[in-house]
Amino acid sequence: MSEEAVRFEGVSKRFGETVAVRDLDLTVARGEFFSLLGPSGCGKTTTLRMVAGFEEPSSGRISLEGRPMAGVPPFKRNVNTVFQSYALFEHLDVRGNVAFGLKRRRVARPEIERRVAEALELVRLTGRERARPGELSGGQRQRVALARALVNQPAVLLLDEPLGALDLQLRRQMQVELKAIQREVGITFLYVTHDQEEALAMSDRIAVMDAGEVQQCGRPQEIYERPEKPFVAGFIGISNLLPGRTEDGGVRLATETLCPAAHDCAPGTEVQLSVRPEHVVLDRASGIPGTVAERIYVGTATQLIVELDGGARIVALTREDWEIGDRIAVSWRAEDARVLR
């Protein structure tokens, strides 16, 4: 058996004039928790639906465990989906919902019983076998949808914003549970979300998508600490993006300050300098001068918005006490600044 669960090779999808997905090349390894992250309309759900078989790629090919999937209908693909709306069968009870896939595959009755019981135990719904979906809470419905898909032991589990409909607290809790379940069953998860925190918290790898294209693909730390494009830096966490021009060994900002930073661009290239708020060093003397314009207490630290004398604004995280109106100087270590073009 091949070590890859899903492979996209030059996959594009067009709906009439609009291109939903453009030239997608990705490989998802077996057993991986892989997230497609991006704003709505970035093509992540379309990508998922092409794996499920609800859409056919306009060009390129998708393989599941090495087998090309072109023309294979959804019911013949060894994948299962957890839908955003859950899409439970309201006329069947919990057991009927979870057993649906196994019955279609003509699994023997005792085995169905055993696997349904296992799946319900996994999502902690034992005892609710006879309940109708209408009698369950949002979180429980979500678990039924998960059990209904997992029980078939698909090669890949496709999850389309499965936590989108839950409130914040429940969502946090389910993130932890979902990750634990994935680790326990070892099934490949292909997870679609627009929530960067969720993606960072759960994924082994993330592909950040925008306008139908993958902007960057990598482990959560890589994506967060070494964004390669302004879009990624801005979409994941908070980033200070300062426009400037490259010079030897640094970037000349619009404020005329030369910031040392590593880059391999030709001198004079227009770039953006990206600095995370937690890497901004605050001082009274050395650095780019500015004024504290706003302070927001966020619990673990205070977020300062500093208005630089050149006009740009910078967000910094600090544990020190600064007042609005204080004169301040900001700087950062050269290795904490990323040059993006």
* Count of residues near other proteins by CB under 8 A: 27
Distance separating alpha carbons of residues 149 and 145, to the nearest angstrom? 6
Binding residue for other proteins (CB under 8 A) from 54, 59, 70, 126? 54
Q: How far is CA 2 from CA 65, 155, 204, in A?
A: 6, 12, 19
Q: How far is CA 93 from CA 50, 60, 75, in A?
A: 29, 40, 22
| Least distance to other proteins, CB of residue 264, Å | 46
Distance separating alpha carbons of residues 197 and 101, to the nearest angstrom? 32
Binding status of residue 52 toward other proteins by CB under 8 A:
yes
Binding residue for other proteins (CB under 8 A) from 19, 29, 72, 87? 87
> Which residues have C-beta within 8 Å of that of residue 274, sequence separation ≥ 6?
227, 230, 233, 239, 240, 241, 242, 337, 338, 339, 340
Residue 192 in contact with residue 159, Cβ under 8 Å?
yes
| Sole window of 3-11, 82-90, 187-195, 221-229 interacting with other proteins (rule: CB under 8 A) | 82-90
Residue with smaller CB distance to other proteins, 152 or 239 = 152
Binding status of residue 15 toward other proteins by CB under 8 A:
no
Binding status of residue 148 toward other proteins by CB under 8 A:
yes
Binding residue for other proteins (CB under 8 A) from 31, 83, 129, 265? 83
Binding status of residue 16 toward other proteins by CB under 8 A:
no
| Least distance to other proteins, CB of residue 133, Å | 11
Place of tokens 């426009």: 243
Half-sphere exposure of 309 (CA within 13 A, CB side): 12
Binding status of residue 130 toward other proteins by CB under 8 A:
no
Place of tokens 């946090």: 172
| Least distance to other proteins, CB of residue 152, Å | 7
Where b means 16+ CB within 10 Å and e means fewer, 68-101 reads ebeeeeeeebebbbbebebebeeeebbbbbbbbb
Binding residue for other proteins (CB under 8 A) from 134, 186, 311, 325? 134
Binding status of residue 79 toward other proteins by CB under 8 A:
yes
Binding residue for other proteins (CB under 8 A) from 40, 105, 108, 256? 105
Binding site for other proteins (CB under 8 A): 52-54, 73-76, 79-81, 83-85, 87-91, 100-101, 104-105, 132, 134, 148-149, 152
